Homo-oligomer: A and B are copies of this chain.
Amino acid sequence: MRLAWKLWLENEGKVFGPGPAKLLESVSDSGSLRKAAAELDMSYSKAYWTLRAMEEGLGFALLTRTVGGPSGGGSTLTPEARDLLTRFRAFETEAEISLGTLFAKHFG
């Protein structure tokens, strides 16, 4: 028997979780929301509206659009988005350790 768990953040509805974290990481890697969406097998419009809903719930912007330039423009994470992502991943990592320890205590 093994433990499964999920955690996410809410603020009058879900605002952030593993899916959005993956999407932001993919934007950060590829420099493009369109590429990030494709990589995660999401439609661009779903990725776009997911981000918009998150920004609404969080109260700050997650992406900055860069227009033109040698790479033809794209998206980068705002400092607030980077901060949220870093906190969320650190929180998840420590939660995993902590829940694993408690699981072993009660079910080991």
Contacts and interface: CB of A to CB of B under 8 A. Distances in A.
Interface of A: 1-11, 14-15, 58, 87-88, 90-91, 94-95, 98-99, 102-103, 105-107
A99 B95 CA distance: 6
Q: Which 7 A-B pairs have the closest CB atoms?
A: A5-B7, A91-B106, A87-B106, A1-B11, A98-B98, A4-B10, A94-B102
B9 A6 contact: no
B10 A1 contact: yes
Given A87-B107, A98-B99, A9 B3 contact: yes
A58 B4 CA distance: 15
5 contacts: A1-B15, A1-B58, A6-B7, A87-B106, A88-B106
